[in-house]
Amino acid sequence: MERQGDILSWYAKTVRRRLRTVIAVALAAAAVSLGTSMLMPKIYSARASIYSLETPGPLATLGQLPFAAVGLAAPANPADYLAAVLESATVLDRVATRHNLRHNPRFVGKSDLSRDEVLEALRDCTRLRAEGNQVTITVESRDAVLSAKIANEYLRQLDRSIHRFSRRKREFLETQLDKQEAMLAEAQDALKVFQAEHEAAALDVQASEAVKTIAELRAQQIENDIAIERNATALKTTGAVEELLRLGVEKELLQRKAQDLIQALAKESERFAAMPSTMTQLARLTWDVTARQAVVQLLQTSYESARISEQEEEARYQVLDTAVPPEKPIRPRVLLNAFVAGVLGLLAGMAWVLVTSVPAPQGRPEG
């Protein structure tokens, strides 16, 4: 114990004797840290948050959303779903394109980045935290205003990704419904005019059955044509590779079905080849009206379903906070870095003083 006390006393005396050296080392370390921190680029953080209005748990309605467009599977937690959409490559690419991040040196200090580089940098500077029903989006960059713009752009792209699918589907069905209702009215008027001019014309039982069969095929053909138009529109608007592949396969199947329907209609129409022209014309007008009635009924049902789905999705989440440009950077913390460096320098100076003050061991005398 006495020897330990002597050692500690020697340490204290040595440090006091060379206190100026210890303080000089600490001040030098603090000064170097202060200068380095002041030369480092300032990093600004902006934050936005959203709140899911869905209750956690299995959500049947999630199956109606465009997961295929972003290459996702439907998660059970609604906040996790929102975070997954925000993390998707489709959303990241749109955010980067919107603010030209590939050529913006205020983003990460470099310009002319490749697409992969800018997406990787955007992932690195973005933090998403899904906790309960709330999702927090935090973006860091070298510019305060740019950080806020990127965070708010995530909100905009989230709205676009979630609501765009059902909105476009409803608008497409609405347009098709108006178009088919107008064509149905024309077909009904043409049938009425024909019947008024040819009161004696009537279809027998065999012809009526044939008209019913052709009307079903014709309805399928019109529905397939609508599906082909919808497919073509989707191919022009989507940017996800997985969705493009799916739509390409769907296009081939629809075109193949169209050819099959044309052949089936031609075969069934041969039944009227030997009938009088008046009977054939009546049959054509009748199956056209019947087919378009079936198509309009189907479109009305689909339109109502899409309209309800769109209304449900509009209340899927609520924006709690939009991002605002921060007033102060979060990094570097100049004073904190200088303080920590000063403490470490103080400890290093004390260690150096003690090591250099230890007396060299004396050799044994000869003899």
Altogether, the residues listed in the chain come to a count of 367
Residue with tokens 């079903």: 216
Name the 3-class secondary structure at 113. Answer: coil
Q: Return the minimum-mean-pLDDT range out of 84-93, 142-151, 193-202.
A: 193-202
Q: Return the minimum-mean-pLDDT range out of 28-42, 207-221, 290-304.
A: 28-42
Instruction: Give the whole-angstrom CA distance, residue 238 versus residue 231.
Output: 10
pLDDT digits (tens, 9 = 90+) for 193-203: 988 888 767 87
pLDDT-derived band of residue 181, with 50, 70 and 90 as boundaries?
Answer: very high
pLDDT at 74: 44
Tokens representing 52 are: 């899911």
Name the 3-class secondary structure at 298. Answer: helix
Please give the angle made by the CA atoms of 173, 174 and 179, to the nearest 5 degrees.
95
Residue 263: pLDDT over 50:
yes
Residue 68: pLDDT over 50:
no
pLDDT-derived band of residue 271, with 50, 70 and 90 as boundaries?
Answer: confident
Q: Return the minimum-mean-pLDDT range out of 2-6, 54-58, 249-253, 259-263.
A: 54-58
102 closest CA partner among 90, 112, 94: 112
Max intra-chain CA distance, the chain: 149
Residue 147: pLDDT over 90:
yes
Residue 62: pLDDT over 50:
no
Are 67 and 76 in contact by the 8 Å Cβ rule? The answer is no
Tokens representing 194 are: 């024909």
pLDDT at 288: 92
User: For residue 116, with 0-12 CB atoms within 10 Å meaning exposed, 13-18 middle and 19 or more buried, which class applies?
Assistant: exposed
Residue 362: pLDDT over 60:
no
Instruction: Give the whole-angstrom CA distance, residue 229 versus residue 233.
Output: 6
User: For residue 251, with 0-12 CB atoms within 10 Å meaning exposed, 13-18 middle and 19 or more buried, which class applies?
Assistant: middle
pLDDT at 183: 94
pLDDT at 366: 47
Give the DSSP H or E segment for 137.
Answer: strand 134-141
Whether omega before 276 lies within 30 degrees of 0, making that bond cis, reads: no
pLDDT digits (tens, 9 = 90+) for 93-114: 999 999 999 888 888 777 788 8
Contacts of 56 (CB under 8 A, 6+ apart): 76, 77, 78, 79, 132, 133
Mean pLDDT of the 346-352 span: 85
Give the DSSP H or E segment for 48.
Answer: strand 44-52
Residue 171 identity (one-letter amino acid): E
Contacts of 276 (CB under 8 A, 6+ apart): none
pTM of the model: 0.54
Instruction: Give the whole-angstrom CA distance, residue 332 versus residue 95.
Output: 26
pLDDT-derived band of residue 204, with 50, 70 and 90 as boundaries?
Answer: confident
Residue 223 identity (one-letter amino acid): E
